[in-house]
Structure 1
């Protein structure tokens, strides 16, 4: 059985029937402590996805990386970092309604 990864959560999660925006998703550890590096990287990925792509026909990290490569001027090393965070397996999801945020829980 394949574990869910960060991409799956970005693709599947909606808040008020809208795709999550870059400021609505935070990467945390199991105790809820934010991971600033991964959060910033993920926010950058999500921001570029929303600007440049229609996610309707994107179903995998591979599809997303190809679309970003085709439709953005991002260099290969940036796309490699995006791919790493998107493939990160998740341990859980925590919804924070008061802040309109989704915490993606990853291992340490």
Structure 2
């Protein structure tokens, strides 16, 4: 099963990596999860600033790179890892808004 990291790594919008404001976490009923969305947006933002994603192939790789290249404390990195390892159940692309909804939980 794919996880959130896989989607962030593989998804492109107009042939560009997704930006932090383009990813929304929802539950199986389509209800946005503001807390996980904010956390994921923070992860993606830091990834885009500090990491070359072409060199990263797994959550473990990303966590090592973020630990080495950012001043983020360990507890923040642990929260990042949790959201990135969440299994996804569906993906919904919203072209009008340029967003990707990552569904983490069954309806």
Q: Same fold (TM over 0.5)?
A: yes
State the TM bucket, normalised to the shorter chain.
Answer: over 0.9
TM, length-normalised to structure 1: 0.97
Q: What's the CA shift for 1:30?
A: 1.1
Mind listing any 5+ residue stretches in structure 2 that lack a counterpart? none
Match of 1:65 in 2: 63
Superposition CA RMSD, Å? 0.7
For 1:106 and 1:82, locate their aligned partners in 2 and report how far apart those are by CA, in whole Å: 15
- Runs of 4+ residues over 6 Å off in structure 1: none
SS for the counterpart of 1:90 is coil
TM, length-normalised to structure 2: 0.98
For 1:99 and 1:45, locate their aligned partners in 2 and report how far apart those are by CA, in whole Å: 20
Query: Which of 78, 91, 95 is the matching residue for 2:93?
Result: 95
